[in-house]
Chains A and B, each alone.
Chain A
């Protein structure tokens, strides 16, 4: 977006972990030995260790040459000679008027740390350059086509001379969407005459050198009437993008687009700043900023409920967006675009037994508390994001579904096969989908990100299915001597609607039809399906008005904990999610994705964070100090769905892969704030954090 990052640091090193040199050797033993022989002398520079520090008057400027950077999108607004690489705004209604009409105004600040994806497979790449100049990259990536583009742009190589291959990916969570190691691996191969090189991140490099999850500082001012109806909100987000911007500008766009939470707030003022610091640079992470923005707004909702002595569930339901309202970017809300939040809240309340009370004494200094949070998320895909599908048939009538999305866990290739099998009314076991992706042979799929794969690939599958149905009917019509519209396709047969005993099998059509005398007609049937996002647009620079994604997925989540007042410890009891999925296509997978998201959300809420020393050096670079959720620590998970059709989506299905994480840190903080009787506005909520906030750090 902002081309600010050289593959290897030049002249200036901007973060701890930044690659500065490459060593190529015959074995990793030799390479490790050679690395230890490199002597580097650094001249220490002043350090920017937080976004607010980056904005101070005399703060060192990380990128003094920002004016020279190429911008790859028109909607990026760098502020020269500062650490602000982009600013996005919402101006909706009149906040002054809104606050004037409010009976109660609440102010809060929030601090959320950077953290890491911790995909179990660290990032890994192979690269070689063949004798004819063809560059071959095999990588663990969510974005093979972006890798190809990036290699082409950076090293001035024609696209047709670059082949990127991606096998099964061992977890992505957004962390394998950016292009980093691929550039280094190409350089390394180039340095040794094109020989195949292998680069694998150690866990420490994967955490400190490769991009991580955003940090955030936020201030929120919320005004409401006595009856709980919100009148105005004013938000300033300082996104810690680290030393380089990567998708930071798109992250702040995602934050402003959904800055109010799924609530109807008529007057909105929001400034989101993408701020350089000397921290590791950030990239997409499951939820694409929403777990952070939801934390702020959902804590505010609880504070408001508390101040007005209202039920937190009721105040959310009261303010939930309804058809006819508009979003912060002034998109009109309809049931199809938005779904049904109120239904999600109602279902969640039943699921978690909300009405038994949100705080129950269990004796021995312990208390059980419940917290809630709502969520919504739309995508921020570029309007020209494409997805393509090709269908070929085997001579036995079975189908190969060929697409460019990457399989990194959520089972989207199974979903693609399901959609095709439903459309062609045939057995799913007769459809095989390419699992690996090769940019030379597979049609482009923009990126496997943003919970948009089912939507994009699914629509391309449906078009490809239409394409083959038409071809099958045309060929069968010629053979059966009837109009094509009188034919039906099902069970690998094309049959006459009026007399189904007249039919031709796929296997006799898909590679051409042969008459008894040997004459043959037709030829291979090849199906094409192509989809482009289309009717989205860039947001207005001053007001933020515009449409960033095709629809929202909304939901409500809750966490129940048991808190010990004596030592500030707690354990998870339950975590619950109700999502409006539009239509659940693969029930067990859907449940698994939401549960997995909740588990990760509990990790973010309770333990995951980077800490730094005074020089901005990350201190948590191994899984011994950077803690994630483990077996046996997890609560009982409860997942249910509401189904409000998204009328443009394949079989009305909304994206659901990321959403389980979004509201969980907020719901946990709401539960703990209630239990500890403290305002817990930062993460992660370790017992020590709760103790410090509650006591001011004095025992």
Chain B
């Protein structure tokens, strides 16, 4: 089993680039991304896995980066919102007014992006289940629902 007993130099793959970073065993991925790699797209909102603003993709699946140790991400492919380059969901969010203040947006984008990749044709209950992981305080969620449905139906590419 892999173990990290002290501050160590590790390799991370983020947005398809290799980075070398010094981490403490207790460092969480959110901290490493923001404070060491300068990737501030993942946002802290609760450090408790409740709000989803810090969501990133780990091997294509959404993960709350406040709940994952950086050490656990070694050898995995991490994607942050900075790694989404004109993804359909980004365009759909703009067209559907799916954000207001924008703070939760990167987290929601990551969840939606992964959902569209993993389940191209999900029933509503699957959409609800995936998106319930995150909180938006500005919109009514209906706009976010419209945006993901636009992407799933292929009307926003």
Interface residues of A (CB under 8 A from B): 29, 117-122, 168-173, 200, 202-203, 408-411, 588-589, 591-593, 595-596, 598-600, 622-624, 628-632, 634, 636-637
By a CB distance below 8 angstroms, the chain B residues around A622 are 46, 48, 50
Contact B97 A631 (CB under 8 A): no
- Evaluate whether A595 and B103 lie within 8 angstroms (CB atoms) in the complex, with A170-B43, A171-B137 already known: no
By a CB distance below 8 angstroms, the chain B residues around A598 are 140
Which stretch of B12-20, B57-65, B74-82, B126-134 is in the interface?
B126-134
B57 to chain A, nearest CB (A): 18
The total of interchain contacts (Cβ-Cβ below 8 angstroms) comes to: 111
A54 to chain B, nearest CB (A): 31
Contact A119 B46 (CB under 8 A): no
Contact A624 B128 (CB under 8 A): no
Q: Provide the bound-state CA to CA distance between A596 and B137, in Å.
A: 8
- Which one of B46, B104, B138 contacts A203 once the chains associate, using CB atoms below 8 Å? B46
Contact B101 A409 (CB under 8 A): yes
Contact A595 B143 (CB under 8 A): yes
Contacts A122-B45, A411-B100 known; list 9 others, CB within 8 Å. Answer: A117-B137, A120-B104, A171-B138, A592-B143, A593-B100, A595-B140, A631-B131, A631-B145, A636-B142
Contact A119 B101 (CB under 8 A): yes
Closest to A630 in B: B132
By a CB distance below 8 angstroms, the chain A residues around B104 are 120
By a CB distance below 8 angstroms, the chain A residues around B48 are 203, 622-624
B106 to chain A, nearest CB (A): 11
Closest to A120 in B: B103
A322 to chain B, nearest CB (A): 32
Q: Provide the bound-state CA to CA distance between A591 and B146, in Å.
A: 14
Q: Is B92 an interface residue (CB 8 A)?
A: no
Q: Provide the bound-state CA to CA distance between A632 and B129, in Å.
A: 8
Closest to A600 in B: B137
A85 to chain B, nearest CB (A): 30
**Chain B CB within 10 Å — which of A122, A170, A631 has the most?**
A631
Q: Provide the bound-state CA to CA distance between A622 and B128, in Å.
A: 22
Q: Provide the bound-state CA to CA distance between A591 and B128, in Å.
A: 22
Contact A599 B140 (CB under 8 A): yes
Q: Is B144 an interface residue (CB 8 A)?
A: yes
Interface code B81-123, partner A: CB below 8 Å = 1, 0 otherwise? 0000000000000000100111110000000000000000000
Contact B101 A168 (CB under 8 A): yes
By a CB distance below 8 angstroms, the chain B residues around A171 are 100-101, 103, 137-138
**Chain B CB within 10 Å — which of A171, A622, A624 has the most?**
A171
B134 to chain A, nearest CB (A): 7
Closest to B124 in A: A632
Q: Provide the bound-state CA to CA distance between A592 and B129, in Å.
A: 23
- Which one of A117, A623, A634 contacts B51 once the chains associate, using CB atoms below 8 Å? A623
- Evaluate whether A121 and B139 lie within 8 angstroms (CB atoms) in the complex, with A171-B101, A624-B50, A631-B128 already known: no
Contact B136 A120 (CB under 8 A): yes
Closest to B107 in A: A120
Q: Provide the bound-state CA to CA distance between A155 and B90, in Å.
A: 45
- Evaluate whether A637 and B140 lie within 8 angstroms (CB atoms) in the complex, with A120-B45, A120-B104, A203-B47 already known: yes
- Evaluate whether A599 and B141 lie within 8 angstroms (CB atoms) in the complex, with A168-B101, A592-B100, A628-B135 already known: yes
- Evaluate whether A634 and B141 lie within 8 angstroms (CB atoms) in the complex, with A121-B101, A409-B101, A588-B97 already known: yes
By a CB distance below 8 angstroms, the chain B residues around A632 are 127-129, 131-132, 141
- Which one of A410, A624, A629, A634 contacts B100 once the chains associate, using CB atoms below 8 Å? A410
- Which one of A410, A628, A634 contacts B142 once the chains associate, using CB atoms below 8 Å? A634
Contact A628 B131 (CB under 8 A): no
By a CB distance below 8 angstroms, the chain A residues around B141 are 599, 629-632, 634
Contact B101 A170 (CB under 8 A): yes
Q: Provide the bound-state CA to CA distance between A630 and B134, in Å.
A: 7
By a CB distance below 8 angstroms, the chain B residues around A117 are 137
A638 to chain B, nearest CB (A): 11
Q: Is B151 an interface residue (CB 8 A)?
A: no
Q: Provide the bound-state CA to CA distance between A636 and B135, in Å.
A: 18
A446 to chain B, nearest CB (A): 20
A-B contact pairs, 12 of them (CB 8 A): A120-B45, A169-B101, A171-B100, A171-B138, A173-B137, A202-B47, A589-B97, A595-B140, A623-B51, A631-B136, A631-B144, A637-B142
Q: Kindly list the 9 A-B residue pairs having the minimum CB-CB distance in the complex, ordered from nearest.
A: A170-B103, A632-B128, A409-B100, A409-B101, A623-B50, A595-B140, A631-B131, A599-B140, A120-B103
Contact B50 A170 (CB under 8 A): no
Q: Provide the bound-state CA to CA distance between A408 and B24, in Å.
A: 35
Within 8 A of A (CB), among B33-57: 43-48, 50-51, 53
B38 to chain A, nearest CB (A): 15
By a CB distance below 8 angstroms, the chain B residues around A119 are 101, 103, 137
Contact B144 A120 (CB under 8 A): no
By a CB distance below 8 angstroms, the chain B residues around A596 are 100, 138-140
